[in-house]
A = this chain, B = another copy of it.
């Protein structure tokens, strides 16, 4: 929280620290994913599709808090890598269902392990209680700001 000292400094803001750590964590993760030729944004899409048979781009956009254009671009890349399939809906042909290809479905658990590893590298030294607290606080902020989140519950 900013202390009321003349102009508050960068380090007085929690946002600064979150951005700093988050950037490092994401960058580190992106290096791990690069070995599989996948980016962080692509990983998010792949993991989201893992739990369902198929999903429309707009549903994906809603779940991930992204625009349809952004999803479309990501889908395009993943289709190019043969990690996704796309099929027009049967009833309403405006819906183009996205789904994991066999290769994509095989890949997700491996990427998941990389995510586990990356998380452990940065947060493994924290106690279980501290990790739980940070997660709880972050989820609370998300909820209070009515940010769109993957509704797991």
Measured CB to CB, the residues of A under 8 A from B are 1-2, 6-11, 13-15, 17-26, 29, 44, 47-48, 50-51, 108-109, 112-113, 115-116, 118-120, 122-126, 128, 130-131, 133-135, 137-142, 144-145, 147, 149-150, 152
Contacts and interface: CB of A to CB of B under 8 A. Distances in A.
Contacts of A139: 17
B21 A119 contact: no
Contacts of A135: 14, 17
B44 A138 contact: no
Contacts of A14: 119, 122-123, 131, 134-135, 138
B145 A122 contact: yes
